[in-house]
Homo-oligomer: A and B are copies of this chain.
């Protein structure tokens, strides 16, 4: 029998963590053939070259395509998306997949949905129907409207998709594939830091630490520098051992990086280690064992809920996203952040409610793609 060709487009390190288990399951399905396209920040050194991890994990890359325009302004974000559409169209023309999987809500993801849907190739979208701030919100729903199959993470998200006018029969709640990676985490060891590049103090994992991940909010573009400084000052005052992840490629990230760099050059870096990238597995192990995750990463709300790690969520980036009792929300304010971290660390771990899935999302996606009927007209 002819295998169905499933093309997964990985555009960032976050994308990869959120689709890896599905990629594995697709590759193992007898009647599916996996095509992997790697693009955007997943190819860039500055964002930790997810492509190296992808290849090390044993996936064969069908095509790679550089599309990120330098500048990190809203203008270059738009142009990056346009370039991604042009080149993905050519790649899809040559790979001829039966279905394209587009992951979550990043601005580059819209490019995948536009290219494939215009080309009459069915689009399967993961993590649709969720609510959050930033332009991600608009982009996520726009992708939904261009997609033909939906794999939302939660029942609430499914309801939202139906409200958005999608047919119930094309929606399958599977949980979040990123949760799948949390099932068999390796023990926490110092070797993690041998597998990545960092700056500043190398953390001692036999002692307690907190994890900070703070991305710029594109609709609050001009405030990125001040926002990161509030967090830096709070973390600095607390003096706890800290692992800090470099921000992603959105408009504003240059300002944010500069804030961090200036801070580092002031020499107050004895208790903070700065890192650009961990493999999804290493990141999850670090998250599982952290006293607390701080910032505005969705992993503080999704993965941390499953793992029971307390989360101090800052600002509007995750506003509206479903959350468990592990999350406390604060504003971009040094004293609010500082006090929330203290309380979270004092409280300690939470129990998991499986809000974002039970660890079988990837297999469910692969099974469905192997057996479903594809349809283009919505």
Contact = CB atoms under 8 A, between A and B. Distances in A.
Interface of A: 43-46, 63-71, 73-79, 81-94, 107, 110-111, 114-115, 117-120, 133, 135, 137-139, 141-146, 160, 163-165, 199, 218-219, 221, 254, 265, 316, 376-378
17 contacts: A45-B71, A66-B69, A66-B70, A68-B70, A74-B119, A75-B90, A75-B93, A78-B88, A78-B115, A78-B119, A82-B85, A85-B85, A87-B87, A110-B114, A118-B218, A163-B163, A164-B165
Nearest to A40: B70
Looking at A45, A75, A87, A265, which has the most chain B CB atoms within 10 Å of its CB? A75
B378 A137 contact: yes
A120 B378 CA distance: 30
Contacts of A221: 120
A63 B218 CA distance: 24
Given A138-B117, A145-B138, A378-B138, A76 B71 contact: no
A90 B90 contact: yes
Nearest to A107: B118
Contacts of A83: 69, 82-83, 86
A114 to B, nearest CB: 6
A147 B376 CA distance: 25
B89 A86 contact: no
